[in-house]
Amino acid sequence: MNDQQIRQIMEAVASGAISVSEGIKALGEFPQESVGNFAVIDHQREIRTGFPEVIFGPGKTEEQIVEIFERLHDKNPNVLASRISPEVYEHIRERLPYATYDPTARILYTKEKQELLEGITVVTAGTGDIPVAEEAALTAELMGNRVERIYDVGVSGIHRLFNRLPDLRKAKVIIVVAGMEGALASVVGGLVQCPVIAVPTSVGYGSNFHGLAALLSMLNSCANGVGVVNIDNGYGAACLASKINHLRVQKDLQDD
């Protein structure tokens, strides 16, 4: 449930189109919904956080994913299910024909048209980091942001990054996705004024330890204004970037 839906119910009560008791009943249907004995859906999350509850695919059966997706879609035009493998999607696609699937980001989603706010740029060190970067980029877009993508500009060919400096410096917040030793986040952090969100990936050779080396490198960055999320957590980086980006709009509205 979002602000617009609440406003419609309240206006309907005020105009006499529905009774007070009908309005209370309509509002009462939204706080939470039990789905079998395996999930309790939080329908008020968009009001509190700005985006509806998101489905995390791993650990759920195909039936559970479909059931939760359908219940969320009944009350939300925007639904996002993350980490949905192509194999799982092939089994559930016919039951969710209205949903779109992105195999690179591994995201299944629905989206209504909405205004997109400029400001987020997603950068990768290598091509192998793109799946995590696309999870971040698509999530940010679904949350109402326009995303600039700058891929494969890692430190082994640092001139490629320097060629994109004008684009980087237009951003209000940058998500840097890097595996191996994760050095790109520090480099970007030393070149821009905006916040940088670093995402270590599990891309790398043995001593990368499935992303641990990149994580520690990013945590120990000497560049100012670099924050770090967990390994391969493109979704988490996008949520943070979106909140930062939308703070500008909230501040402008308050100033007005």
Question: What six digits make up the tokens of 155?
Answer: 């430190």
Q: What pLDDT score was predicted for residue 31?
A: 66
Helices in 103-256 by DSSP H: which ranges? 130-142, 159-162, 165-168, 184-189, 212-219, 234-255
Q: What pLDDT score was predicted for residue 40?
A: 75
Query: For 57-117, what is the HEC assignment?
Result: CCCCCHHHHHHHHHHHHHHCCCEEEECCCHHHHHHHHHHCCCCEEECCCCEEEECCCCCCE
Q: What pLDDT score was predicted for residue 34?
A: 62
Of residues 228 and 44, more confidence is placed in 228
Question: What six digits make up the tokens of 248?
Answer: 């500008």
Q: In the chain, where are the structural domains located?
A: 1-30, 32-110, 117-252
Q: What pLDDT score was predicted for residue 254?
A: 55
- Strand partners of residue 253: none
Q: What pLDDT score was predicted for residue 113?
A: 67
Q: What pLDDT score was predicted for residue 252?
A: 57
**Can you tell me the distance from the alpha carbon of 188 to that of 217, in angstroms, rounded to the nearest whole number?**
14
The pTM (predicted TM-score) of the whole model is 0.82
Cβ(72)–Cβ(53) below 8 Å: yes
Other beta carbons within 10 Å of 60: 19
Mean pLDDT of 151-168: 92
Q: Does CATH place domain 117-252 in 3.40.640.10?
A: no
